[in-house]
Amino acid sequence: MGKFRKNRKSENQTISTSSLPDIVFMLLFFFMVTTVMRETTINVKQDLPTATEVKKLEKKSLVSYIYVGALNTGYKKTISNEWKSRFMSEINEPAFVQINDKICENPFSNNPSETSDIQAYMELERTTGAPTYRDEKEIPFMTTSLKCDKNVNMKLVYLIKKELRKSDAFKINYSTKKDD
């Protein structure tokens, strides 16, 4: 009967944790690879409207963003009276157009010979050389994502759309929150 005596040295064996760092590193690399650090600090309010019929924007490298909204509290900027009277948003704060990190000084051109900030941005996004090195074939598939606050006046949106049409950026996407 003593044949099957167990040959245990100790009763409570510890679980080896030497592979734990490997597991954690694996997770770490996953998150490191998937993380996209936000390059721009958004200085305008971004309370997006909701919609049900939304589509996902697929290729992020083909998307250029234009942010529109009232200034964030704490962000100081002198506002010209002309701008104020033209683009008062609903909440009685003038809305602004932000491209990359900057609030645009003259987003719209008044005459055809003048290049507006939006036009300059679209042109920069479409250059095949530095700094974007875009493929010629990609250009028709490029999308402009309009990230507008829901209180923005439509007049401003129309003006932005007109600038986009001037620079042949026809594909746009009204950024919204998904509502089920």
Partner 1 sequence: MGKTNRKIPEINAGSMADIAFLLLIFFLVTTTIDTDSGIARKLPPLPEDELEEPPKIKPQNLLIIIANKNEEITYKKRYLRTDGTCCDEDLDSRPPENIKVNPKELKEISKKFITNNGKDPTMSVSPIKAIISLEAEYCSYETYISAQNSLAAAYKEIRNEESIKLYSKKYERLDKEKQVVIKKSYPQKISEADIN
Considering the rule CB under 8 A, would residue 84 count as an interface residue with partner 1?
Answer: no
Considering the rule CB under 8 A, would residue 166 count as an interface residue with partner 1?
Answer: yes
Q: Return the residue of 3, 15, 31, 136 that touches partner 1, per CB under 8 A.
A: 31
Considering the rule CB under 8 A, would residue 57 count as an interface residue with partner 1?
Answer: yes
Q: How many CB atoms lie within 10 A of CB 158?
A: 10
Q: Return the residue of 42, 46, 49, 72 that touches partner 1, per CB under 8 A.
A: 49
Considering the rule CB under 8 A, would residue 99 count as an interface residue with partner 1?
Answer: no
Question: Contact region for partner 1 (CB under 8 A) — 5-13, 102-110, 114-122, 168-176?
Answer: 168-176
Q: Shortest CA distance to 166 belongs to which of 96, 119, 128?
A: 119
Considering the rule CB under 8 A, would residue 15 count as an interface residue with partner 1?
Answer: no
Between the two ends of the chain, the Cα-to-Cα distance in Å is 69
One-character DSSP codes across 68-130: EEEBPTT------HHHHHH-B-TTSSBEEEEETTEE-S--S-SSTTSPPHHHHHHHHHH-SST
Q: Return the residue of 11, 39, 53, 180 that touches partner 1, per CB under 8 A.
A: 53
Answer yes or no: are the C-beta atoms of 150 and 69 closer than 8 Å.
no
Give kind and range of the element (H or E) at residue 144.
strand 143-148
Give the binding site for partner 1 (CB under 8 A): 17-18, 20-21, 24-25, 27-28, 31-32, 34-38, 49-57, 60, 63, 89-90, 143, 145-146, 148-155, 157-158, 161-162, 164-166, 168-176, 178
